[in-house]
């Protein structure tokens, strides 16, 4: 068939038939060009792979992501023993299973397996009166003066911070400057004292936790984090 005859036949086709033929031609051309493009791209990738296969990338040390302490489930504390103290409004704490406790009139004393004599336990939590001059001031303001009022050798406040227990209860912790008798201006710093307040409006005072041996600071901080009022 001559080209002239083909052109005449194409001219006699309907518009719909012409569109179909054009679409078919476009698809055929697209297929042909696509085939050669994919083939060319494959060859280039193969060459690139051969050029880089012997290159060793240095290892990258990614930083470890750590959750905040209050989002970490502490199974160790969950397995500790419960201890309730019922006087002065009452409170409850947890303490390690290999520790023992002693309850006295105004509080409790804790120590590891009867390692210390009575009265020398490393951790004590007890009730302490404020004194009538301090009953009307806010509790956090009293804490900033408590050491000086309650303990003779405490000279001034060294550190004051607000903390929260596991249950979200607000507590306060302070360290105090201690003037040592006979040593001039030599100042020592006390171990932390934690102040919980009181759950009884008729009492002017509060519960306080004393650390008497720095060796047990980690256990002390975990114990005070479990504090809660029971009434």
pLDDT values of the chain reduced to their tens digit, one per residue, 231 residues: 556 666 666 666 677 777 787 888 878 888 787 777 788 777 777 776 666 555 554 554 545 444 445 434 467 898 999 999 999 999 999 999 999 999 999 999 999 987 888 889 999 999 999 888 888 899 999 999 888 888 878 889 999 999 999 999 999 999 999 987 555 566 789 999 999 998 888 889 999 999 999 999 999 999 999 999 986
- Residues 82 and 36 occupy one common structural domain: no
Each residue of 157-167: b (16+ CB within 10 Å) or e?
bbeeeeeebbe
Contact 211, 220 (CB under 8 A): yes
Each residue of 118-137: b (16+ CB within 10 Å) or e?
eeebbbbbbbbebeeebeee
List the one residue out of 169, 228, 163, 230 whose CA is nearest residue 193: 163
- Residues 45 and 77 occupy one common structural domain: no
What is residue 65's predicted lDDT score, i.e. its pLDDT? 43
CATH of residue 83:
3.40.1000
Number of domains comprising the chain: 2
In a domain, 57, yes or no: no
The rounded distance, in Å, linking the Cα atoms of 222 and 186 is 32
- Residues 40 and 146 occupy one common structural domain: no
- Residues 40 and 151 occupy one common structural domain: no
Domain that residue 185 falls in: 69-229
In a domain, 162, yes or no: yes
- Give the predicted TM-score (pTM) of the model: 0.65
């Amino acid at each position: 068939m001559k080209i002239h005859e083909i052109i005449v036949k194409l001219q006699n086709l309907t518009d719909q038939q012409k569109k179909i033929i054009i679409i078919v031609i476009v698809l055929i051309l697209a297929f042909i060009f696509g085939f050669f493009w994919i083939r060319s791209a494959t060859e280039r990738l193969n060459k690139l792979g051969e050029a880089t296969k012997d290159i060793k990338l240095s290892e990258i040390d990614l930083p470890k992501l750590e959750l905040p302490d209050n989002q970490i489930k502490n199974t160790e504390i969950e397995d500790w023993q419960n201890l309730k103290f019922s006087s002065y409004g009452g409170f409850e704490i947890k303490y390690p299973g290999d520790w023992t406790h002693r309850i006295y009139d105004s509080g409790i004393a804790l120590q590891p397996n009867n390692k210390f004599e009575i009265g020398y336990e490393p951790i004590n939590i007890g009730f302490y009166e404020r004194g009538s001059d301090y009953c009307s001031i806010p509790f956090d303001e009293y804490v900033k003066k408590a050491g000086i009022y309650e303990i003779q050798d405490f000279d001034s406040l060294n550190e004051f911070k607000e903390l929260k227990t596991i249950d979200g209860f607000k507590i306060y912790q302070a360290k105090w400057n201690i003037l040592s008798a006979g040593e001039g201006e030599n100042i020592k710093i006390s171990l932390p004292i934690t102040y919980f307040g009181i759950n009884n409006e008729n009492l002017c005072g509060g519960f306080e936790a004393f650390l008497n041996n720095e060796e047990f600071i980690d256990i002390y901080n975990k114990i005070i984090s479990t504090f809660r009022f029971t009434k």
